[in-house]
Amino acid sequence: MLQIRAKLIYNKNITGNFFHLTLRAPRISGKCLPGQFISVKVNGPNEPLLRRPFGIHKVKGSDMEVLYEVVGRGTEILSQRKAGEYLDLIGPLGNGFDLGAFSGSRASSSPVIVAGGMGVAPLLFLAQRLRGLRASSPKLRTEVLIGAKTASSILCEKEFKNLGCDVKIATDDGSRGFKGYVSGLLERGLNTGRRPPIVIYACGPRLMLKEISRISEKYNAPAQASLEEHMACGIGACLGCVVNTKKGFERVCKEGPVFRANEIIWG
Amino acid sequence: MRKKEARLAVNIGKLKLKNPVMVASGTFGYAEEFADFMNLKQLGAVVTKTITLKPRQGNPPPRTCETPAGMLNSIGLENPGVDAFISKKLPILKKIGAPVIVSIASEGDPDEFISLAKRLDKINGAAAIELNISCPNIRGKTSLISQDPGSTFKVVKMVREVTGKTLITKLSPNVTDITEIAAAAEKAGSDAVSLINTLTGTSIDTDTKRPRIASVIAGLSGPAIRPVAVRMIWEVSRKIKIPIIGMGGIMDTPSALEFFIAGASAISTGTANFINPALSVEIISGLKKYLARNKLRDIKELVGTLKS
């Protein structure tokens, strides 16, 4: 963990309330793992008081990218910050995805990425890293399932395709792809045909992750889920962001944000 | 010749601190979380997250939320219990080189304070004990020890009788007259008082009509409560002779200075550690600069200098 002043390189609206933010952080970018996050102080002191956590969306050399949605005062202020300004940044934070299943030469399972809404944010970085890991076998495509409310709110489809991923879409209203939740799309895929063992990587709303956890148990496919929780410190000190697990309360910012889905007591 | 640097050392009971900047209980974990951001040895002292006799899993989430210029928390004293604290956390804390003040609380029976104090009395790495009689987040409790001068006197005296270690009593601001409570702690033999703990508060999500914190009532901290803290320190400093450790919304050197001027001998950073983990060491150098600029040779010359 490092605290630095990072230069804001780019901060633009991409669609709807979604923004792309690029920060120059040479001392941090190289240390980041997919699934980890950073925390940013969006402005000066007092108001809003706390830092804001963001999943790492992409890393390119000394730059790191964040994909965020304006949902409140903190992100509203962040969306008004301009290129050339500096932001107080701490990172990298938390534990990322376990890619152990794909680092050996005998890796036999294939990854399936499941993203719901804003959940795509940390998963693009994961796809980027998986591509690097599987570079020696270019035929092994990573499957990516993206869920969105409607066709116009689908995020990152092109970016995943550019990484050579096999992308499938689900929309709540059926305006594109599978009609229904992305978890339903995942289950449909598992129901049909024989397939090699898979590892599921998921990020999205809590109810979606709960559903993924159920599917993961039913089809005996291990799943890792990246959780989101309000955080005060982001560094493990305040014990504010805990989630109920089979081992008791665990900190989303420290033991997480990525957990084995079957370790979480979803309630 | 280079001017001699101003003296920052202060004594709290038997405890000698190289500077008066500490970190408040519950805002600094067991220090290990902060090692990446500073040389922990520079701190005047570290006050641990409160320890209870038995492990506590704490309150159900959500446990924190942001409020105007502040935050609410209801962690519920999550801690591994005194045995695991001594065997697992204290060895790490001892290595940092700053005095470790162990915060303790009872889960209901005040006698637990005696057991905890007896246990810690023999432990070398515990430089002092802070009695947390003011945590607002224990379920089912309607009143706090620190809301009654008689109960405060009784608990402090009980603990005083079983330990020779420096005793600090942490006071609640959720009272009509905090000076009565401070006076009771002093009379019972406390070496110092620390104030303020959080103010109780509630925040509501109007869409769901649910409280933003699961336990409904939580503790408010941050710059929003600073004027309350400074006022209480000023009032208490005119009533008692033992040192005051001041805290409540300190965000930078100027806000720390307010506490000294109001009458605090030492200060603690709290919520600000969540936002700027290295703040406490920044304040140490900020104090030195302020003293030099104002031609003061010792921080003690600043304590209680409010002109009124």
Q: Is B103 left (phi over 0), alpha (psi -120 to 50) or beta?
A: beta
Per-residue model confidence (pLDDT) at position A14: 92
Min distance A134 CA to chain B CA atoms (Å): 33
Pick the residue of A3, A41, A233 with the most B CBs within 10 A to test the interface with B by mutation: A233
Domain ranges, ordered by start, for chain B: 10-59+76-199+221-301
Check residue A139 and give its pLDDT. 64
Contact A236 B29 (CB under 8 A): yes
| pLDDT 10s digits, B238-281 | 999 999 999 999 999 999 999 999 999 999 999 999 999 999 99
Residue A105, pLDDT > 70, answer no
- Of residues A49, A229, A248, nearest to B69 (C-beta): A49
Whether the ω angle into residue A48 lies within 30 degrees of 0, i.e. cis, is: yes
At residue A91's C-alpha, the angle toward residues A89 and A95, to 5°, is 150
Rounded to a whole number of angstroms, the distance from the CA of A234 to the nearest CA of chain B is: 8
CA atoms of B300 and B20, how far apart (whole Å): 10
Catalytic residue, chosen from B23, B45, B47, B135, is B135
Higher pLDDT, A81 or A136: A81
What's the pLDDT score for residue B137? Answer: 74
Instruction: Output the DSSP codes for A65-121.
Output: EEEEE--SHHHHHHHT--TT-EEEEEEEESB----HHHHSTT---EEEEEEEGGGHH
Contact B275, A51 (CB under 8 A): yes
Residues of A in contact with B58 (CB under 8 A): 239, 242, 249
Judge: A3–B69 Cβ closer than 8 Å, yes or no.
no
Share of chain A above pLDDT 90, in %: 85
Q: Which residues in B lie closer than 8 A to residue A240 (C-beta atoms)?
A: 61, 63-64, 73, 75
pLDDT given for residue B2 in this prediction:
55
Q: Model confidence at B3, in pLDDT bands (50, 70, 90)?
A: low
Q: What amino acid is encoded at B258 in this protein?
A: E
Q: Which residue has the higher pLDDT, B2 or B87?
A: B87
Query: Quick check: B25 and B15 in contact, CB under 8 A?
Result: no
pLDDT attached to residue A93: 98
Does A247 score more than 60 pLDDT? yes
**What is the pLDDT at residue A68?**
97
pLDDT reported for residue B4: 75
- What's the pLDDT band for A46 if we cut at 50, 70, 90? confident
| Mean local confidence (pLDDT), A210-231 | 95
Partners of A242 on chain B (C-beta within 8 Å) are 58, 61, 63, 78
The yes/no answer on whether domain B10-59+76-199+221-301 falls in CATH 1.20.1250.10 is: no
- Provide ipTM, 2 decimals: 0.93
Q: Closest chain B residue to A4 measured between Cα atoms?
A: B37
Share of residues in chain B with pLDDT > 90 (%): 94
Would you call B65 a catalytic residue per the annotation?
Answer: no
**B139 has a pLDDT exceeding 70:** no
DSSP state of B85: I
A50 CB neighbours in chain B (<8 A) are 66, 71, 274-275
Phi first, then psi: give them for residue B131, nearest 5 degrees: -90, 110
Cα separations in angstroms, B99 against B43, B285, B287:
8, 19, 20
Cα–Cα separations (whole angstroms), residue A11 to A8, A66, B219: 7, 9, 36
Using CA atoms, how far apart are residues B284 and B299, in angstroms rounded to an integer?
11
